[in-house]
Chain A
Amino acid sequence: MPKTARLILFAAALVALLFLPRFVSSYKLLTYTTVLSLTLMAQGWNFIGGYTGYAAFGNVAFFGIGAYTTGLLMLKWNAPFFAALAAGALLSAAVASLVGVAVLRLKGHYFAIATLGVAEALREIASSWDSVTEGATGIDLPVRSDSSFFYYVALGLVVLGLVLTALIERSKLGYGWVAIREDQDAARMLGINTTLFKVIAFALSAVFAAFAGGIVAYQNIHVAPNDFFKIEYTLQMIIACVIGGVGTVWGPLLGAAVYQLLSTYVWAHFLELHPTVLGAIIIFFVVFLPRGLMNLFRRLAAPRPVATVGAPRKRRFLRDLLLANVRASRLE
Chain B
Amino acid sequence: MKRTGFYSALALALLFALPAPAPAADNTITFGAAISITGKTAKEGEYTRDGYQFAIDRLNELGGVKIGGKSYKLALKYYDDETKPERTAQLIEKLINEDKVNLILGPYGSSPTGTAAPICERYKIPMVEANGAAESVFAKGYKYSFMILSPAKLYLRGIIDAVRSKDPGAKTLAILGENESFSKEVAQGAAEYAKEKGMEVVYQELYPSNAQDVSALLTAIKGKNPAIVLGSGHLQDSLLIVKQSKDLGVSPKAMGFSVGPSSPEFRENLKGSADYIFGATQWTESLRYSGDDPWKTPKAFADAFRAKHPNYKSIPYQVAESAVAVIAYQKALEKAGSIDPTKVRDALAAIDLSTYYGRVKFDSRGVNIYKPMAVEQYQPDGNKYTVWPADVAEKPALYPMPAWDKR
Q: Which residues of A contact B (CB under 8 A)?
A: 1, 6, 9, 13, 25-28, 30-32, 34, 124, 127-128, 135-138, 140, 143-145, 147, 216, 220-222, 224, 226-227, 232, 250, 254, 257-258, 261-262, 264-265, 267-268, 271-272, 274-275, 293-294, 296-298, 300-301
0/1 per residue, B150-181, Cβ < 8 Å to A? 00000000000000000000000000000111
Q: Is B359 an interface residue (CB 8 A)?
A: no
Known interface pairs A124-B208, A224-B111, A265-B18. Does A297 touch B179 (Cβ–Cβ under 8 Å)? no
What B residues does A128 contact at CB under 8 A?
Answer: 179, 206
What B residues does A264 contact at CB under 8 A?
Answer: 18
Closest A residue to B111 by CB, please name it.
A224
Q: Is B334 an interface residue (CB 8 A)?
A: no
Q: Is B69 an interface residue (CB 8 A)?
A: no
Distance in angstroms from B192 CB to nearest chain A CB is 16
Q: How far is the CA of A26 from the CA of B97 in the complex (A)?
A: 6
Contact across chains for A224 and B37 when beta carbons are under 8 A apart: no
Q: Is B106 an interface residue (CB 8 A)?
A: no
Q: Is B406 an interface residue (CB 8 A)?
A: no
Closest A residue to B3 by CB, please name it.
A301
Contact across chains for A220 and B181 when beta carbons are under 8 A apart: no
What A residues does B89 contact at CB under 8 A?
Answer: 220-222
Contact across chains for A297 and B111 when beta carbons are under 8 A apart: no
Contact across chains for A254 and B11 when beta carbons are under 8 A apart: yes
Contact across chains for A26 and B4 when beta carbons are under 8 A apart: no
Instruction: Find A27's partner among B16, B86, B93, B184 (CB 8 Å cutoff).
Output: B93
0/1 per residue, B92-108, Cβ < 8 Å to A? 01101110000000000
Distance in angstroms from B281 CB to nearest chain A CB is 23
Q: How far is the CA of A275 from the CA of B115 in the complex (A)?
A: 22
Q: How far is the CA of A250 from the CA of B119 in the complex (A)?
A: 32
Q: How far is the CA of A128 from the CA of B93 in the complex (A)?
A: 31
Q: Is B354 an interface residue (CB 8 A)?
A: no
Interface size band for B: 35 or more
Contact across chains for B114 and A224 when beta carbons are under 8 A apart: yes
Closest B residue to A9 by CB, please name it.
B5
Which of B77-85, B221-229, B396-404 is the interface stretch? B77-85
Contact across chains for B181 and A272 when beta carbons are under 8 A apart: no
Contact across chains for B118 and A140 when beta carbons are under 8 A apart: yes
Instruction: Find B111's partner among A31, A227, A250, A275 (CB 8 Å cutoff).
Output: A227
Name the interface residues of B178-218: CB closer than 8 Å to any CB of A. 179-181, 184-185, 206, 208-209
Instruction: Find A220's partner among B20, B37, B98, B115 (CB 8 Å cutoff).
Output: B115
Instruction: Find B93's partner among A30, A135, A137, A298 (CB 8 Å cutoff).
Output: A30
Contact across chains for B15 and A261 when beta carbons are under 8 A apart: yes
Q: How far is the CA of A136 from the CA of B181 in the complex (A)?
A: 5
Mostly, the B contact residues are helix
Q: Is B12 an interface residue (CB 8 A)?
A: yes
Q: How far is the CA of A40 from the CA of B97 in the complex (A)?
A: 25
Distance in angstroms from B211 CB to nearest chain A CB is 12
What 17 new A-B contacts, CB under 8 Å, besides A27-B97, A301-B2? A1-B6, A27-B98, A28-B20, A137-B134, A137-B181, A137-B185, A140-B140, A220-B89, A221-B115, A222-B117, A250-B5, A258-B15, A261-B16, A264-B18, A268-B21, A272-B80, A300-B7
Q: Is B8 an interface residue (CB 8 A)?
A: yes
Closest A residue to B91 by CB, please name it.
A267
Contact across chains for A272 and B184 when beta carbons are under 8 A apart: no
Q: How far is the CA of A189 from the CA of B12 in the complex (A)?
A: 42
0/1 per residue, B114-125, Cβ < 8 Å to A? 110111011000
Contact across chains for A220 and B9 when beta carbons are under 8 A apart: no
The 4 closest A-B pairs by CB, nearest first: A27-B97, A301-B3, A221-B118, A297-B7
Contact across chains for A257 and B12 when beta carbons are under 8 A apart: yes
Q: How far is the CA of A275 from the CA of B6 in the complex (A)?
A: 31
Q: Is B136 an interface residue (CB 8 A)?
A: yes
Closest B residue to A271 by CB, please name it.
B80
Known interface pairs A1-B2, A25-B97. Does A136 touch B180 (Cβ–Cβ under 8 Å)? yes
Closest A residue to B99 by CB, please name it.
A27
- 21 residue pairs A–B, Cβ–Cβ below 8 Å: A1-B2, A1-B6, A6-B5, A25-B97, A30-B97, A34-B90, A136-B184, A137-B185, A138-B181, A140-B118, A143-B122, A144-B122, A221-B115, A250-B4, A250-B8, A257-B12, A258-B15, A261-B16, A267-B79, A268-B21, A298-B4
What B residues does A297 contact at CB under 8 A?
Answer: 3-4, 7-8
What B residues does A145 contact at CB under 8 A?
Answer: 122
What B residues does A261 contact at CB under 8 A?
Answer: 15-16, 18
Contact across chains for A226 and B3 when beta carbons are under 8 A apart: no
Q: Is B38 an interface residue (CB 8 A)?
A: yes
What A residues does B11 contact at CB under 8 A?
Answer: 254, 257-258, 293
Q: How far is the CA of A250 from the CA of B85 in the complex (A)?
A: 30
Q: How far is the CA of A264 from the CA of B82 in the complex (A)?
A: 13
Name the interface residues of B117-147: CB closer than 8 Å to any CB of A. 117-119, 121-122, 134, 136, 140
Instruction: Find A222's partner among B8, B18, B37, B114 (CB 8 Å cutoff).
Output: B114
Known interface pairs A26-B93, A220-B115, A224-B85. Does A136 touch B4 (Cβ–Cβ under 8 Å)? no
Known interface pairs A13-B9, A265-B18. Does A135 touch B79 (Cβ–Cβ under 8 Å)? no
Closest B residue to A29 by CB, please name it.
B97
Closest A residue to B9 by CB, please name it.
A13
Known interface pairs A127-B179, A136-B181, A301-B4. Does A227 touch B85 (Cβ–Cβ under 8 Å)? yes
Distance in angstroms from A262 CB to nearest chain B CB is 7
Q: Is B1 an interface residue (CB 8 A)?
A: yes
Q: How far is the CA of A119 from the CA of B357 in the complex (A)?
A: 44
Distance in angstroms from A244 CB to nearest chain B CB is 9
Contact across chains for A222 and B118 when beta carbons are under 8 A apart: yes
Distance in angstroms from A163 CB to nearest chain B CB is 16
What B residues does A137 contact at CB under 8 A?
Answer: 134, 136, 181, 184-185
What A residues does B5 contact at CB under 8 A?
Answer: 1, 6, 9, 250
Q: How far is the CA of A216 from the CA of B87 in the complex (A)?
A: 12
What B residues does A147 contact at CB under 8 A?
Answer: 93
0/1 per residue, B22-57, Cβ < 8 Å to A? 000000000000000110000000000000000000
Distance in angstroms from B206 CB to nearest chain A CB is 8
What B residues does A127 contact at CB under 8 A?
Answer: 179, 208
Distance in angstroms from B47 CB to nearest chain A CB is 16
What B residues does A274 contact at CB under 8 A?
Answer: 38, 80
